[in-house]
Amino acid sequence: MTSTAARLTGTKGVARADREQQIVAVAGEVFAERGFALASVDEIARRAGISKPLIYNYFGSKEGLLAACLAYAGTLVADEIERTARLGEVGLARALVSLDGLFRALEPAPWTWRLLNDPTVPGGPELDPVLATYRSRMAALSADGVGELMRLAGDDDPADTDAMTAVWTSVLDALVTWWLDHPAETPEQMSRRCVRLFAAVLGPVDVDLPGRSG
Amino acid sequence: MTSTAARLTGTKGVARADREQQIVAVAGEVFAERGFALASVDEIARRAGISKPLIYNYFGSKEGLLAACLAYAGTLVADEIERTARLGEVGLARALVSLDGLFRALEPAPWTWRLLNDPTVPGGPELDPVLATYRSRMAALSADGVGELMRLAGDDDPADTDAMTAVWTSVLDALVTWWLDHPAETPEQMSRRCVRLFAAVLGPVDVDLPGRSG
DNA sequence: GCGCGGTAAGTTACCAGGAAGTCATATCAA
DNA sequence: TTGATATGACTTCCTGGTAACTTACCGCGC
């Protein structure tokens, strides 16, 4: 009675690289859903259709798995924001272009954002390097954009710039999170909404978001 | 040889109401520090100098203890914001007065804010009522202030108002959190900083924050 | 003044369950 | 056969929660 359906052990012919990618995708979702601290490796294994020891074979520990997820997510997000930064827009237009790019980049893997902003990820020698890399890339971008804004306003207090960076980061987070909570909204609609919101606070603005086809 | 120091069991002459207040204060700190999910009742008991079962005698469960902390924190914050709302300021001035009041109200118990924004608190019949009360009070305030802003800007899309509320809440959170991370800053300094930050984005503003004595 | 019982305040020792991580083992391709 | 892919069963530890017990205070009859 060794039916194919009953075959429970042994190789399933999936190469390690493929399996790792699949596990990272599932783990990212679960981590983002429950928060790292409350997510269980068992659940990740169940949802990926494999067993827990395989995860430990490949990633060493729960934190090692998280490190892989964070590396993927951090690269995705930071690459995108650096790309939009290179477009050369300044001030408000730069902010809107960043948001637009972010919505598009996040669409295929919305869990990345929640994961990068998960307050329950612990410190530790395994996570610190990857988190530091991501955070320093983002801090450089923010300091760039926000610093320019503050210089324009004639405010050169570094603590003010620091606080303003925190505010801008948080606005970004609020908009992305709102979007994640309204999945029916397309990136295009969301970008237009952002333009309206900025206009409500700052007065009329005009920017033409790039990359819209058709 | 029944020395006073060796007396480990039995009453210590502390009335229940006092003990409950003390436990709530300690629990609030620990919950805010670690997040509800990662905080342990044992640690709270140790830091309060009592034993775990006493907490269960008084609060029934970990969630019951959290409910008491949230009721305290929610009342503190919502009362304060409602008070500043009644001052009758509008628009930007209202925002700054709210922030100023919030900084002053939070100073003696900074943990309240982190607790109310802790993403790891679960739902459940014990927490939902107290959280719903707090959130509906805050939502009413936000909808009031943000709604006015949106009407002024001629934007009557309810989804826009909803998103803008999320953004404003998040800005509030960012500023308070930045302040909690810089404990040397007094509420007065922080309020002045907020005025500068708003000015950097919106252009010159003038408001006189009330309640400054001396 | 003084035993005395009821009750509030408080503790030690324990249980049940869940999650991280490990080990011996099984299957299959080359 | 060997090595990579894979698993069931296990240990270990931590945490929420409980049972049983101890100590101190307080009102009351005498």
| Distance measured from the CA of protein residue A176 to the C1' of nucleotide D6, in angstroms | 39
In the block, which residue shows the tokens 């919505």? Answer: A103
In the block, which residue shows the tokens 């068992």? Answer: A42
Q: Is residue A167 part of a domain?
A: yes
Q: What is the mean pLDDT of residues A135-157?
A: 92
| pLDDT of res. A91 | 84
Q: Is residue B126 part of a domain?
A: yes
| pLDDT of res. B213 | 45
Decide if pLDDT at A211 tops 60: no
What is the percentage of chain B residues whose pLDDT exceeds 70? 93
* CB contact set of A148 (below 8 Å; sequence gap of 6+): A90, A91
Handedness of CA A10, A12, A17, A23 (dihedral sign): negative
Q: Which residue of B has its CA nearest to A119?
A: B119
CATH number at residue B42: 1.10.357.10
A153, B93, B82, B72: CA torsion to nearest 10: 30
| pLDDT of res. A210 | 61
The residue segments making up the domain with residue A97 are: 70-202
What is the pLDDT of chain A when averaged over all its residues?
A: 90
| pLDDT of res. B176 | 95
Reported confidence tier of residue A10, pLDDT bands at 50, 70, 90: low
**Could you tell me where the DSSP H helices lie in chain B?**
16-34, 41-48, 52-59, 62-85, 91-106, 111-116, 128-152, 158-180, 187-202
Integer-rounded Cα Rg, in Å, for chain A is: 21
* Best to test chain A binding among B167, B186, B195 (most A CBs inside 10 Å): B167
A52 and chain B in contact, CB less than 8 A:
no
Distance between CA A171 and CA A153 in Å, rounded? 20
Least confident piece of the model among A96-100, A190-194, B15-19, B151-155: B15-19
* CB contact set of A99 (below 8 Å; sequence gap of 6+): A172, A175, A190, A191, A194
Q: What is the mean pLDDT of residues A94-123?
A: 94
Report the number of distinct structural domains present in chain B: 1
pLDDT tens across B45-91, in order?
999 999 999 999 999 999 999 999 999 999 999 999 999 999 999 88
Bases of chain D below 7 A from a protein C-beta are 3-9, 14-20, 22-25
Decide if pLDDT at B5 tops 80: no
Q: Is residue B9 part of a domain?
A: no
| Three-state SS at B12 | coil
Concatenated DSSP letters of A142-163:
HHHHHHHHHHHTT---HHHHHH
Q: Is residue B164 part of a domain?
A: yes
| pLDDT of res. A2 | 32
Concatenated DSSP letters of A165-209:
HHHHHHHHHHHHHHHHT-TTS-HHHHHHHHHHHHHHHH-------
| pLDDT of res. A142 | 87
Q: Is residue A40 part of a domain?
A: no
CB distance B102 to B174 below 8 Å: no
Q: Is residue A6 part of a domain?
A: no
Integer-rounded Cα Rg, in Å, for chain B is: 21
Q: Which residue of B has its CA nearest to A177?
A: B166
Decide if pLDDT at A128 tops 90: yes
CB distance A74 to A136 below 8 Å: no
Q: What is the mean pLDDT of residues A48-67?
A: 97
Q: Is residue B4 part of a domain?
A: no
Nearest CB to A178; choose among B35, B166, B178: B166
| Distance measured from the CA of protein residue B42 to the C1' of nucleotide C15, in angstroms | 16
pLDDT tens across A162-196, in order?
999 999 999 999 999 999 999 999 999 999 999 99
Q: Is residue A5 part of a domain?
A: no
What is the pLDDT of chain B when averaged over all its residues?
A: 90
Q: Retrieve residue B98's tokens.
A: 């709210």
| pLDDT of res. B92 | 86
Distance between CA B193 and CA B184 in Å, rounded? 14
pLDDT tens across B112-131, in order?
999 999 999 999 999 999 99
